[in-house]
């Protein structure tokens, strides 16, 4: 209904650079640049100011952004009303996935959407919980599968709870039992995510409450890195149980932390900045169903 060049304007404004906007939309950067130049020529004013790090909105761009966003939101709502009348989900749906979920969820979700909702165009992004949460909050993703610690957040659909495990080199005598009291972490050399990672903050809070000293020997924000460092010996990682499933026994041993048992919640969260269309509702229900059917086993 609206000039597609204005959608490009919104994409660039949200991404903060032509390079990121091109990567996220799957378009060539040169094409976006030409479309933007044509739009600016038609407007007779610059929409962005170029900087060394990307682009920022010009004064004119700042004035028109909320109006353009409102027009696209209204167009999306109108499209949803048409879809509801026809009972056919259609349009773009943007979903964020954690790296650990990609191997067992991405293909299943793509195939299910193609088979059940052929008029829905699926966009999938991979990132950490922090990255995906920021994209959802900014309205650049319609929904995302995240790991949460601490208090529940409004709008989250809790899909699973997965217990935290201490992992280390295979055969380590500390990990020769199925469970390990949290108090045994006192002074152990640990590999943990760097602040302000939510898991790091949660572990620090629990340790402080119990007078336990967390000895962070290495910081690594990737679960894959944490596994590799723990497998090398002399250091222990703390990960959700699903993160060590399928790992060869010759590389890692794991024990579930108890007293207290600590959980990571797998949640599906949605943005409040985009219209909740028939397509997003159907895809959200599909993600929820697939996670419950095929996701890592949750503890009761």
Residue 287's H or E segment, with its range, is helix 278-294
* H helix intervals, 44-106: 59-86
Mean pLDDT throughout 131-147? 89
CATH number for the segment(s) 1-87: 1.10.10.10
Q: Would you call 124 exposed, middle or buried from its count of C-beta atoms within 10 A (0-12, 13-18, 19+)? A: middle
CATH label, 160-265, candidates 3.40.190.290, 3.40.1800.10, 3.40.50.300, 3.30.1360.200: 3.40.190.290
Where is pLDDT greater, at 101 or 247?
Answer: 101
Q: What angle do CA 17, 268, 132 make, to 5 degrees?
A: 20
Q: Give me the residue spans of the domains in the chain.
A: 1-87, 160-265
Given a contact cutoff of 8 angstroms between Cβ atoms, the answer to whether 263 and 125 are in contact is no
* Average pLDDT over all residues of the chain: 88
Torsion of CA 121, 125, 131, 136, to 10 degrees: 10
> Could you tell me which residues are beta bridge partners of residue 167?
237, 254
Please compute, for residue 185, the number of CA atoms within 13 A of its CA located in the half-sphere on the CB side.
33
CA distance 18 to 29: 6
For the four alpha carbons of 228, 231, 233 and 239, in that order, the dihedral sign comes to positive
Q: Is the pLDDT of residue 278 over 80?
A: yes
CA distance 172 to 192: 19
Q: What is the pLDDT of residue 84?
A: 66
Q: Give the three-class secondary structure for 182.
A: helix
CA distance 46 to 43: 8
Q: Is the pLDDT of residue 101 over 80?
A: yes
Peptide bond into 196 cis (omega under 30): yes
Given a contact cutoff of 8 angstroms between Cβ atoms, the answer to whether 269 and 156 are in contact is yes
Given a contact cutoff of 8 angstroms between Cβ atoms, the answer to whether 277 and 88 are in contact is no
CA distance 20 to 12: 8
Q: pLDDT band for position 110 (50/70/90)?
A: very high
CA distance 212 to 223: 23
In the 8-state DSSP scheme, what is residue 233? S
Give the largest Cα separation in the chain, rounded: 72
Q: Is the pLDDT of residue 125 over 70?
A: yes
Q: What is the pLDDT of residue 69?
A: 87
Share of the chain above pLDDT 70, in %: 93
Please list, in sequence order, all residues whose beta carbon lies within 8 angstroms of the beta carbon of residue 51, skipping any fewer than 6 positions away: none
Q: What is the pLDDT of residue 173?
A: 94
pLDDT in tens, 15-71: 888 888 888 777 888 888 999 999 999 999 999 998 878 899 999 999 999 999 888
Q: What is the pLDDT of residue 190?
A: 97
Q: Is the pLDDT of residue 82 over 90?
A: no
Q: Annotate 132-199 with DSSP letters as a single string.
A: HHHHHHTTS-SEEEEEE-SS--TT-EEEEEEEEEEEEETT-GGGSSSEEEGGGGTT-EEEEPPTT-HH
Q: What is the pLDDT of residue 297?
A: 55
Q: What is the pLDDT of residue 300?
A: 35
Q: Is the pLDDT of residue 222 over 90?
A: no
Share of the chain above pLDDT 90, in %: 54
Q: What angle do CA 175, 180, 182 make, to 5 degrees?
A: 130
Q: What is the pLDDT of residue 52?
A: 79
């Amino acid at each position: 209904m609206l000039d597609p060049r204005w959608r490009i304007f919104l994409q660039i404004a949200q991404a903060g650079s032509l390079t990121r906007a091109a990567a996220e939309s799957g378009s060539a950067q040169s094409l976006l640049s030409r479309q933007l130049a044509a739009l600016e020529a038609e407007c007779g004013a610059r929409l962005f100011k170029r900087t060394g790090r990307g682009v920022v909105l010009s004064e004119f761009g700042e004035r028109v952004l909320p109006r353009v966003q409102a027009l696209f939101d209204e167009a999306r709502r109108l499209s949803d009303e048409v879809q509801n009348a026809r009972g056919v989900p259609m349009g773009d749906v943007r979903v964020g996935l954690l790296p650990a979920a990609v191997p067992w969820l991405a293909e299943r979700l793509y195939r299910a959407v193609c088979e059940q909702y052929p008029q829905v165009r699926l966009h999938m992004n991979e990132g950490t919980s922090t990255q995906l949460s920021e994209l959802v909050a900014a309205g650049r993703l319609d929904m995302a599968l995240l790991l949460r610690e601490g208090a529940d957040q409004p709008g989250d659909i809790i899909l699973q709870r997965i217990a935290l495990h201490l992992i280390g080199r295979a055969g380590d005598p500390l990990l020769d039992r199925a469970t390990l009291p949290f108090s045994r972490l006192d002074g152990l050399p640990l590999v943990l995510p760097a602040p302000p990672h939510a898991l790091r903050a949660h572990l620090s809070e629990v340790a402080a409450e119990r007078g336990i000293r967390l000895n962070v020997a290495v910081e690594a924000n990737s679960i894959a890195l944490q596994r590799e460092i723990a497998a090398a010996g002399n250091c222990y990682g703390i990960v959700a149980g699903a993160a060590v499933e399928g790992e060869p026994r010759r590389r890692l041993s794991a024990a579930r932390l108890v007293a207290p048992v600590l959980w990571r919640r797998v949640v599906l969260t949605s943005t409040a900045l985009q219209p909740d269309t028939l397509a997003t509702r159907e895809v959200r229900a599909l993600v929820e169903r697939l996670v419950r059917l095929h996701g890592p086993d949750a503890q009761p």
